[in-house]
Structure 1
Amino acid sequence: MPTILVVGATRGLGASLANAYAYAPNNTVLATARSSDPPANTENLTYIPSIDIATPDASKNLLNHLHKNSISHIDTVIITAGYFATESLKEPSFEAQEKMYRTCTIGPTILVTALANASDTLLDSKSKVVFVSSESGSITLRHESEGGGNYGHHASKSALNMCAKLLSLDLKERGVAVAVVHPGFMRTEMTKNVGFDKFWDDGGAVTPNVAAKSLMEWISIFGISKTGQYWAPRGAADIGTAEPVLGPKDTLPTPLQLPW
Structure 2
Amino acid sequence: MPTVLIVGATRGLGASLAKAYAKADNQVLATARSSNPPANSKNITYIPGIDISTPNAGPTILNFLHARKITHLDIVVITAGYFATESLKEPSFDAQEKMYRTCVIGPTILTTALANDSDTLLGNKSKVIFVSSESGSITLRHESEGGGNYGHHASKTALNMSTKLLSLDLKERGVAVVAVHPGFMRTEMTKGVGFDKFWDDGGAVTPDEAAKSLAEWIETFDISKTGQYWAPRGPADIGTAEPVLGPKDKLSTPLQLPW
Query: Which category of TM-score, normalised to the shorter sequence, fits these structures?
Result: over 0.9
Matched to 1:63, the amino acid is L
Q: Where in structure 1 do 4 or more consecutive aligned residues deviate above 4 Å? A: none
RMSD of aligned alpha carbons: 0.4
Residue 20 of structure 2 aligns with which residue?
A: 20
Residue 170 of structure 1 aligns with which residue?
A: 169
Counterpart-to-counterpart distance in 1, 2:100 and 2:24: 34
Which residues of 2 match residues 1-260 of structure 1 at below 5 A?
1-25=1-25, 27-260=26-259
Matched to 1:9, the amino acid is A
Counterpart-to-counterpart distance in 2, 1:189 and 1:54: 19
Unaligned ranges ≥5, structure 2: none
Counterpart-to-counterpart distance in 2, 1:246 and 1:50: 42
Matched to 2:96, the amino acid is Q
Q: TM-score, normalised by structure 1?
A: 0.99
Counterpart-to-counterpart distance in 1, 2:55 and 2:70: 22
SS in 2 for 1:113: helix
Unaligned ranges ≥5, structure 1: none
Matched to 1:199, the amino acid is F
Give the Å deviation of 1:77: 0.2
**1:92-145 deviation line (CA, Å, top 9, x unaligned):** 000000000000000000000000000111011120000000000000000000
SS in 2 for 1:230: strand
Counterpart-to-counterpart distance in 2, 1:134 and 1:120: 29
SS in 1 for 2:130: strand
Matched to 1:118, the amino acid is D
Give the Å deviation of 1:44: 1.0
SS in 2 for 1:250: helix
Counterpart-to-counterpart distance in 2, 1:80 and 1:235: 19
SS in 1 for 2:159: helix
Is the CA contact (8 Å cut-off) linking 2:125 and 2:223 kept in structure 1? no
SS in 1 for 2:216: helix
SS in 2 for 1:4: strand
**1:221-250 deviation line (CA, Å, top 9, x unaligned):** 000000000000000000000000000000
Counterpart-to-counterpart distance in 1, 2:17 and 2:203: 20
**1:4-34 deviation line (CA, Å, top 9, x unaligned):** 0000000000000001100123x10000000
Is the CA contact (8 Å cut-off) linking 2:125 and 2:222 kept in structure 1? no
Give the Å deviation of 1:64: 0.5
Counterpart-to-counterpart distance in 2, 1:124 and 1:73: 7
Is the CA contact (8 Å cut-off) linking 2:114 and 2:121 kept in structure 1? yes
Counterpart-to-counterpart distance in 1, 2:168 and 2:76: 17
Counterpart-to-counterpart distance in 2, 1:70 and 1:33: 20
SS in 1 for 2:6: strand
Counterpart-to-counterpart distance in 2, 1:69 and 1:251: 48
SS in 2 for 1:29: strand
Give the Å deviation of 1:43: 2.4
Matched to 1:13, the amino acid is L
SS in 1 for 2:230: strand
Identity of aligned residues (%): 82
Count the aligned residue pairs: 259
Counterpart-to-counterpart distance in 2, 1:57 and 1:24: 31
